[in-house]
Amino acid sequence: MLEFEENGEQRSTCANERIVNGDLHHARVFYGTFFAFAFFIPLVAVSLLYGAMVRRLLRKSVADGGGGRRANKQKESTKAKRRVTRLVVIVVVIFAACWLPMQVKW
């Protein structure tokens, strides 16, 4: 806990004292670890797991039906697969977009 004075008032905050005092190596390790475990690893895990789900979904074929119904089912299935794929991509992009600003140190 760091104590400081602001506008004549005594205040305190929780902060890493070594980073505040300018230890650049400690700051790099701290922020690098935070980036890896709070953003990069979850993003990779989500991407790989959703990718596996989409790959499995795209490999699945529509069961054989009768003539024209089969073509119609195939068309509906393809449309549904496209929607799911688009939704998965949107979820991953929103995850990255929401968490990235917290990772960027200005």
Query: Tens digits of per-residue pLDDT, 3-44?
Result: 888 888 898 888 777 887 888 888 888 888 989 999 999 999
Neighbours of 58 (CB within 10 A): 13
pLDDT in tens, 65-90: 555 677 788 888 888 889 999 999 99
| Helical (H) or strand (E) element with 23 | none
Cα separation, 100 vs 53, whole angstroms: 24
Place of tokens 């790959």: 55
Residues 91-105: pLDDT tens digits?
Answer: 999 999 999 998 886
Task: Provide the number of structural domains found in the chain.
Answer: 1
d(CA 67, CA 48): 37
The confidence score (pLDDT) of residue 66 equals 53
User: Domain range holding 27?
Assistant: 2-103
